[in-house]
Chains A and B, each alone.
Chain A
Amino acid sequence: MNFLKSWLLREVWPVIARRFFHLREIERFIEMTGERYLDTARWAGMRGISEIEAERQLEYGVQSGILQRCFLYEWPDSPVQFIVPPEYVGRKVKLRDIGYIGEDDGRVIAVSEFRVREIFIAAGAN
């Protein structure tokens, strides 16, 4: 288990869980999926709530400083998915600059706002 994951398990998720009073649900989610980010659809599915309510709760998480809003680049022109901070949307990034190692790591990806989706990560996580 890497540091980020163990840190999420130990420090961050319990805080979120207490806030939302669904500790067991979140613990099970982390254990089963190992996911490192949450999105509205996933949170709504886990809690059995509407996406609007899920968005409101995640927004509350951002306002409370527990979560950080980011974007996930998952368009098929990139060999890997990667998290993009909001200020990088609209800019170009080299694959090697996001830590990708491969033959095509010099390739430049234009991080368009139409090719990312909103996700939430633990505040302070990089």
Chain B
Amino acid sequence: MDWPLWEKKILELTAKFPGKTTANKLGAMVAGSTKEQLDGLLLEGFAGFVHQTAFLARVRTPADIIGIFADAPRNGDIDLLLRISQVDANPVRGRFLVFIKRRMEFVGSQDAGFLSFDIPFPVAIHVTGNILIVQVMTMQSGISTWGRIIGQRFRKKLTVVRADYFHEKTMGFIVAAGGESPKYIDCSRRAVELMKSNRVDTFGGRYSAGLDGDTTYRTIRGKGKRALRESRLKDFNSLIGATHILNAELVFKAAHADLEAGSKVALYPNVGKVSFRSNLEGCDPDEFLKKLATT
């Protein structure tokens, strides 16, 4: 069964399920679907819908990395479990959905005290050519949502969920399985190309001055804020002249580089980290990431 994840399609898919609101219908759809169907939905979501943070790395032995994930265990009390494995032999390409366990701590309501739970978080892994892409779904749910997910009431969430944790775990899994240590990709040059485009506005940036420190430029936040190119041209030129870009906050004014108009992206180019801050409907984040990684 095909599981496209566009918003319109979601509404179509949920239409036949009971419930007054979309949330209720979605709940009914989740309840009425198999684990395999929901996993497929998740993996497809990484290719064009879910808010996510991606990490780009270069590998010398992509076939070995693909083999490691294809052979990952599907069951057991371990930190990384394989859910979906899609491997192509020619060209060598692999796409995987894994769940990575993260211990989350909460303060329970009333006298429940401290509570901890092992939560599986979905992570998509993509090996294409010599590039390894790790995509982590952004989880910013409030305390009440976490309560609903776990089925308990909480007063406070003590664990901060950061995408970097899942990247680290994924890399650790590869090395523990006998694979090479992937090297992150400095995509500063590509980031500068994006910033130079008239279709992209840059609202903040930070670049490295070696060990002497770094320089940060930011526009005034809030209503009426203007892009760096319009408000601080000299600073903008310094930023795009730098060799190593540490951070760049971009908003796409028009469709460009496989992302749609309105897309918001926070780049950490020197370490190959990309945070998509907006809905990716109609975008092709996979292609965007692959081009970014091709330095």
Give the interface of A toward B (CB within 8 A). 33-37, 41-42, 74-77, 80-83, 112-115, 117
A-chain residues with CB within 8 Å of residue B182 when the two chains form the complex: 114
B-chain residues with CB within 8 Å of residue A33 when the two chains form the complex: 210
- Report if B167 contacts A (CB, 8 A): yes
8 contacts between A and B (CB under 8 A): A33-B210, A36-B210, A82-B211, A83-B211, A112-B168, A114-B167, A114-B168, A114-B181
Which of B6-14, B149-157, B252-260, B267-275 is near enough to bind chain A? B267-275
Q: Which of A37, A41, A76, A114 contacts B210 (CB 8 A)?
A: A37
A-chain residues with CB within 8 Å of residue B246 when the two chains form the complex: 74, 76
- Report if B247 contacts A (CB, 8 A): yes
Instruction: Give the distance in Å from the alpha carbon of A80 to the alpha carbon of B215 in the complex.
Output: 11
- Report if B193 contacts A (CB, 8 A): no
Closest 7 interchain pairs by CB?
A: A114-B171, A76-B268, A35-B210, A36-B211, A75-B271, A74-B270, A113-B181
Residue of B nearest to A77 (CB): B164
Cβ contact within 8 Å between B186 and A41: yes
Residue of B nearest to A74 (CB): B270
Since A35-B210, A81-B211 are in contact, a sample of 12 more A-B pairs with Cβ atoms closer than 8 Å, ordered by chain A residue number, is A34-B210, A37-B210, A74-B246, A74-B270, A76-B247, A81-B214, A113-B181, A114-B167, A114-B182, A115-B168, A115-B184, A115-B271
- Report if B212 contacts A (CB, 8 A): yes
- Report if B208 contacts A (CB, 8 A): yes
- Report if B51 contacts A (CB, 8 A): no
- Report if B102 contacts A (CB, 8 A): no
A-chain residues with CB within 8 Å of residue B247 when the two chains form the complex: 76
Cβ contact within 8 Å between A81 and B208: yes
Cβ contact within 8 Å between B271 and A37: no
Q: Which of B172, B186, B211, B273 contacts A37 (CB 8 A)?
A: B211
The interface residues of chain A, by DSSP majority, are classed as loop
B-chain residues with CB within 8 Å of residue A74 when the two chains form the complex: 208, 244, 246, 270-271
Chain B, interface residues (CB within 8 Å), range: 20 to 34
A-chain residues with CB within 8 Å of residue B168 when the two chains form the complex: 112, 114-115
B-chain residues with CB within 8 Å of residue A77 when the two chains form the complex: 164
Task: Tell me the chain B residues, 198-213 only, with Cβ under 8 Å from chain A.
Answer: 208, 210-213
A-chain residues with CB within 8 Å of residue B268 when the two chains form the complex: 76
Instruction: Give the distance in Å from the alpha carbon of A112 to the alpha carbon of B247 in the complex.
Output: 20
B-chain residues with CB within 8 Å of residue A81 when the two chains form the complex: 208, 210-211, 214
Rounded to whole Å, the gap between the CB of A83 and the closest CB of chain B is 7
Instruction: Give the distance in Å from the alpha carbon of A75 to the alpha carbon of B211 in the complex.
Output: 14
Chain B 229-248 near chain A by CB (<8 Å), digits 1 or 0: 00000000000000110110
- Report if B196 contacts A (CB, 8 A): no
Residue of A nearest to B244 (CB): A74
Cβ contact within 8 Å between A76 and B186: no
B-chain residues with CB within 8 Å of residue A76 when the two chains form the complex: 246-247, 268, 271, 273
Instruction: Give the distance in Å from the alpha carbon of A36 to the alpha carbon of B247 in the complex.
Output: 22
Rounded to whole Å, the gap between the CB of B163 and the closest CB of chain A is 11
- Report if B226 contacts A (CB, 8 A): no
Rounded to whole Å, the gap between the CB of A48 and the closest CB of chain B is 16
Instruction: Give the distance in Å from the alpha carbon of A114 to the alpha carbon of B164 in the complex.
Output: 11
Instruction: Give the distance in Å from the alpha carbon of A112 to the alpha carbon of B181 in the complex.
Output: 11
Rounded to whole Å, the gap between the CB of B267 and the closest CB of chain A is 10
Rounded to whole Å, the gap between the CB of A67 and the closest CB of chain B is 16
- Report if B183 contacts A (CB, 8 A): yes
Chain B 251-293 near chain A by CB (<8 Å), digits 1 or 0: 0000000000000000010110100000000000000000000
B-chain residues with CB within 8 Å of residue A36 when the two chains form the complex: 210-212
Instruction: Give the distance in Å from the alpha carbon of A33 to the alpha carbon of B247 in the complex.
Output: 20
Instruction: Give the distance in Å from the alpha carbon of A113 to the alpha carbon of B271 in the complex.
Output: 13
Interface centre among A36, A81, A113 (most CB of B within 10 A): A81
A-chain residues with CB within 8 Å of residue B270 when the two chains form the complex: 74
Instruction: Give the distance in Å from the alpha carbon of A117 to the alpha carbon of B272 in the complex.
Output: 12
Rounded to whole Å, the gap between the CB of B160 and the closest CB of chain A is 12
